[in-house]
């Protein structure tokens, strides 16, 4: 039996004291294979849920208080239930928890008095979405099996991040934490909120490599890009009033507007429009087992993020450039918001071990940091862990 739940139950009792009626819920992190910075532009993304996940252990509490202990941070937060609706963010990790509790209450799901323990194997702040994993795992624990539409759950957690944490993220991370599929990636249409399960060719392995850096610029640049995309849409709407988001824009439209769009919004829009095209092409290549084409699309995505969207950094570029110079590598690109975090690498299985050793050594030599490497095994979305 997987020892995880027992270890979690023991940790819970160590922290909160003896408890009965413990339940454990799990929500995964994700790696986005392609379709970056397209979700808040209502375009396409193609993540897979990982077997790295956030676990929450929950037990009822006798007082009217919600208490949460993060084993990763060794910190506890507690909030009287009655204070949750009027709570203000405190700009720390508790906002992810409180934001979810608040959205649950606002949506009419009562939040129980409870003790929660959180333990995540998703590297925190590395672009593999530890934030959506904690949001969705906490929401599932607080719901405790009460019925909710999966899409409602994803939207509710996104609102927590948008409205309480203050991060204007799109729907991708919460969506895949809910809808993840074992053994497959998921192509999401961020406008219709439909998805398609995409089996990946067996002859390729995906590996995420962590730069181990997170540049401060990241979250302000993210907000800035969201605003720049909205500004581009405003200009485009003067000629094409039907356009609601960059999702509605085509490359041909952009070309015809070359003298109206200022250079920076034009570059941002070009990234988003071509990235949506690349997601579709990637799915097609994946269906046909065209591994080389898939790899080329990953690299094209990286170049677009590097030069047009300008959200890469020296460490990410180094990892991508090094990866594609090594034998057995189809392609690589940064994944997640950028300015640090991880790359995703598509590698021939028989080269995977040598590849890991070589890239790790090169990165160490260049930056003095040992990159963590995570094999990406597509896993299921949120659920209760039953073997306790
Ligand atoms: P990413 O989602 O790429 O990991 P974010 O910056 O979006 O990075 O989210 C990271 C933040 O989420 C952390 O700084 C912390 O506030 C919160 N978080 C994630 N996992 C945990 C955890 N296990 N315990 C406490 N806080 C967590
Ligand atoms: Mg996040």
Residue 307 is assigned to a structural domain of this protein: yes
The answer to whether the CB of 190 falls within 8 A of the CB of 172 is: yes
Catalytic status, residue 173: yes
Q: Identify whether residues 108 and 232 lie together within a single domain.
A: no
pLDDT more than 70, % of the chain: 98
Section 33-42 average pLDDT = 98
Give the domain-ending residue among 165, 199, 233. Answer: 199
Distance from the alpha carbon of residue 230 to the mean position of ligand 2, in angstroms: 21
Q: Identify whether residues 76 and 148 lie together within a single domain.
A: yes
Residue 346 is assigned to a structural domain of this protein: yes
Task: State the residue range of the domain holding 229.
Answer: 205-375
Which residues make Cβ contacts (< 8 Å) with residue 74, sequence separation at least 6?
none
Q: 93 CB less than 6 Å from ligand 1?
A: yes
Whole-angstrom distance, CA of residue 128 vs CA of residue 105: 28
Residue 1 has pLDDT above 50, yes or no: no
Point out the catalytic residue in the list 39, 51, 95, 173: 173
**What DSSP string runs through 40-60?**
GGT-EEEEEEEEEEEEEEEEE
The answer to whether the CB of 322 falls within 8 A of the CB of 346 is: no
Residue 388 is assigned to a structural domain of this protein: no
Residue 156 is assigned to a structural domain of this protein: yes
Q: 96 CB less than 6 Å from ligand 1?
A: yes
> For position 323, which CATH number holds?
3.30.70.890
Q: Identify whether residues 229 and 103 lie together within a single domain.
A: no
**What's the pLDDT tens digit per position in 55-85?**
999 999 999 999 999 999 999 999 999 999 9
Q: 38 CB less than 6 Å from ligand 1?
A: no
Residue 336 is assigned to a structural domain of this protein: yes
Give the domain-ending residue among 180, 199, 218. Answer: 199
Ligand nearest to the CA of 116: 1
Q: For a pocket test of ligand 1, which of 93, 132, 213 has the largest count of ligand atoms closer than 8 A to its C-beta?
A: 93
Q: Identify whether residues 80 and 45 lie together within a single domain.
A: yes
Residue 68 is assigned to a structural domain of this protein: yes
Give the domain-ending residue among 183, 199, 215. Answer: 199
Which protein residue's CA is at the shortest distance from atom 6 of ligand 1?
125
Q: Give the count of domains, the chain.
A: 2
Section 31-44 average pLDDT = 98
Residue 386 is assigned to a structural domain of this protein: no
């Amino acid at each position: 039996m997987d020892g995880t739940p027992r270890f979690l139950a023991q940790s819970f009792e160590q922290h909160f004291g003896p408890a009965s009626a413990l339940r454990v819920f799990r929500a995964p992190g994700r790696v986005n294979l392609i379709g970056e910075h397209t979700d808040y532009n209502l375009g396409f993304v193609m993540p897979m849920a990982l077997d790295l996940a956030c676990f929450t252990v929950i037990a009822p509490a006798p007082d009217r208080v919600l208490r949460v202990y993060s084993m990763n941070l060794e910190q506890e937060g507690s909030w009287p239930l009655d204070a949750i609706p009027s709570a203000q963010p405190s700009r720390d990790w508790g906002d992810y928890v409180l934001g979810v509790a608040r959205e649950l209450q606002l949506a009419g799901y009562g939040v129980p008095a409870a003790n929660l323990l959180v333990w995540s194997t998703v590297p925190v702040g590395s672009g593999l979405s530890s934030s959506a994993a904690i949001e969705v795992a906490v929401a599932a624990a607080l719901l405790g099996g009460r019925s909710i539409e999966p899409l409602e759950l994803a939207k509710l957690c996104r609102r927590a991040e948008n409205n309480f944490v203050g991060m204007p993220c799109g729907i991708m991370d919460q969506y895949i934490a809910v809808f993840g599929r074992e053994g497959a990636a998921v192509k999401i249409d961020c406008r219709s909120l439909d998805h398609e399960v995409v089996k990946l060719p067996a002859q390729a392995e995906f590996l995420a490599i962590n730069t181990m850096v997170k540049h401060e610029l990241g979250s302000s640049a993210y907000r800035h890009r969201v605003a720049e995309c909205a500004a581009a849409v405003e200009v485009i709407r003067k000629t094409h009033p039907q356009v609601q988001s960059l999702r509605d824009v085509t490359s041909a439209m952009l070309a015809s507007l070359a003298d109206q769009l200022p250079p920076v919004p034009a570059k941002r829009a070009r990234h988003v429009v071509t990235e949506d095209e690349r997601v579709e092409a990637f799915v097609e290549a994946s269906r046909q087992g065209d591994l080389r084409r898939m790899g080329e699309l990953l690299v094209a995505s990286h170049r677009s993020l590097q030069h047009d969207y300008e959200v890469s950094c020296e460490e990410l570029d180094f990892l991508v450039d090094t990866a594609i110079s090594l034998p057995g590598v189809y392609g690589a690109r940064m994944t997640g918001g950028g300015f640090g975090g991880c790359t995703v690498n598509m590698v021939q299985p028989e080269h995977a071990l040598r590849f890991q050793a070589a890239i790790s050594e090169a990165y160490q030599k260049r930056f003095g940091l040992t990159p963590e490497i995570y094999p990406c095994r597509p896993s299921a979305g949120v659920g209760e862990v039953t073997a306790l």
